[in-house]
Amino acid sequence: MANKYVAITDMTLRDGMHSVSHQFTPDEMMRVAAALEAAGVDNVEACHGDGLAGASYNYGFPAASDEEYLTAVSGVLHRSKLAVLLIPGIGTQEDLKMAREHNAQVVRVATHCTEADVSEQHIGLARQLGMQTVGFLMMAHMLEPEGLVKQAKLMESYGAEVVYITDSAGALLPEGVRARVGALRSALKCDVGFHAHNNLGVAVSNTLVAIEEGAAVVDACLCGFGAGAGNCQLEVLVAVLKKLGYQTGVDMYKAMDAAEDVARPLLRRPPLIDRAALSLGYAGVYSSFLLHAFRASERFGVDVRDILMELGRLKIVGGQEDMIVDVAVELAKRMGKLPA
């Protein structure tokens, strides 16, 4: 739709943290954020890959604290808004207050797609704090459109100004996105957003379908940084939307420069649709499980694909990272690599 405005949230400094095992330094975050600001991106999300207070043995320890990251990023943002992710049960209301004190203007309150009810307190507090408040329904491929509408309506009733279809596993194909985003757009008064992973190679096309169905805000990362095979690639998305006549407020050349000159040199592991990432999308497994699954594969001598396929069969979701080792051990026993 020519001239329609689509807002973009860049997550290089949050979901992209998974690509570097959460090891961005505050200085690196500051340089990336400054480049995104110069390019004109609406929102820049920055914190641990698993959200505020994600630092733990379960999720991984970052190179710096949330406070240090937020201080570094907020200092270079003037037009772009600083966003954070908060998963109830990991992040607390105190963490949200801290983020607001460090100039975060947007919070995405994320729950599993069937557990929107746990977001009520955090969404309510965010509105009280004057933050733009987003509901984030993760692993949305695991619930049919009708069920997602019920969960989204809960978030909307709590005060969410945007509710996202979040394809955390990169498992959705375009028609699945069309059905889910379209259902929310028809049922909600608030805006609808979409978050893609590229595990099946359709992150950009899925994002375009979401926009066609009425998504007003979408997510992307420079160079496709992100968990699994990465997220929708920002500079590619901006070019495609420009070619189609959409307005994003993002300077295409500056987005390209931010990707190649600033972000790419920071890549420890390039986002690839390799056999493991492809297995994530095929099996419908949480994208941030990838590095954990690689470690379990090496430790117990089990094919990482077998681990991921079994996690998918068991319908393991975010927060159950400890099950990755359990699954690897059980597979190793079946193969005779460990005593039964």
Answer for the pair 94, 67: CB distance below 8 angstroms, yes or no.
Answer: no
Return the SS3 of 268. coil
Tokens of 241: 């939307």
Compute the distance between CA of residue 251 and CA of residue 158 in angstroms, rounded to an integer.
35
Catalytic status, residue 18: yes
**Beta-strand relationship, 81-86 and 217-220:** unpaired
Closest to 192 in 3D by CA, of 156, 147, 150, 231: 156
Q: List C-alpha distances in Å: 274 to 25, 60, 148, 279, 305.
A: 27, 23, 30, 8, 11
Q: Catalytic: which of 18, 102, 112, 292?
A: 18
Tokens for 279? Answer: 């297995």
Give the type of residue at 242.
K
Spacing of C-alpha 306 from chain mean position: 24
Q: Report the chain's C-alpha Rg in angstroms.
A: 19
CA distance 116 to 266: 35
Q: Which of 218, 219, 222, 225 lies closest to 255, judged by CA?
A: 222
Report how far residue 249's alpha carbon sits from residue 111's, in angstroms, rounded to the nearest whole number: 30
Q: Which residues does the annotation mark as catalytic?
A: 18
